[in-house]
Amino acid sequence: MPQPYEWAVLRVVPRVDRAEFVNAGVVLYCHADDFLGARIALPADRAQALDPGLDLDLVRRHLEAIAALCAGDASLAPNANRPAGDRFRWLVAPRSTVVQPSRVHTGLTSDPAAELDRLMDQLVTPPGRHQAAGEI
């Protein structure tokens, strides 16, 4: 039976003052399945086209930390020990930083992990290229 879920696109905004961005991942939360996951792919060339001085290593570390927090990585304790819903709400809270979430959207799914992959392919992966899970 399909369950409701929430999701947001993760965006890289190299220059917050210009409000230009590239999509770099998706985070998805399904309360009924206690699922919280992220798929990340930093389009480095596209991000640097918006700001050649962008610190890609720093952005990559921030994106990797988001994926690790979703996975409950113990090295991120105590935040990794929080309930999945709390972690999702913190990740999608509006912020004015280089890595920003979109608005939260909703849907129904019977397979949150497959839905996360589908959203990643649809919203982040360049056309004609399939994204491997967890690729950065």
> Cα-Cα-Cα-Cα dihedral of 44, 47, 50, 56, to 10°?
-70
**77: Cβ–Cβ under 8 A, 6 or more apart, which residues?**
none
What per-residue confidence (pLDDT) applies to 68?
A: 96
Average pLDDT, the chain: 92
The model's pLDDT over 19-57, given as tens digits with 9 standing for 90+, comes to 999 999 999 999 999 999 999 999 999 999 999 999 999
- CA-to-CA distance for 62 and 64, rounded, in angstroms? 5
The model's pLDDT over 57-82, given as tens digits with 9 standing for 90+, comes to 999 999 999 999 999 998 888 888 89
The string of DSSP letters for 9-30 reads: EEEE-S-TTTT--EEEEEEEEE
For the chain, the 3-state helix, strand and coil shares in percent, each to the nearest 5, are: 35, 25, 40
Q: What is the pTM of this model?
A: 0.89
The dihedral sign for the CA sequence 21, 23, 24, 30: positive
The model's pLDDT over 83-130, given as tens digits with 9 standing for 90+, comes to 999 999 999 999 889 999 999 999 999 999 999 999 999 999 877 665
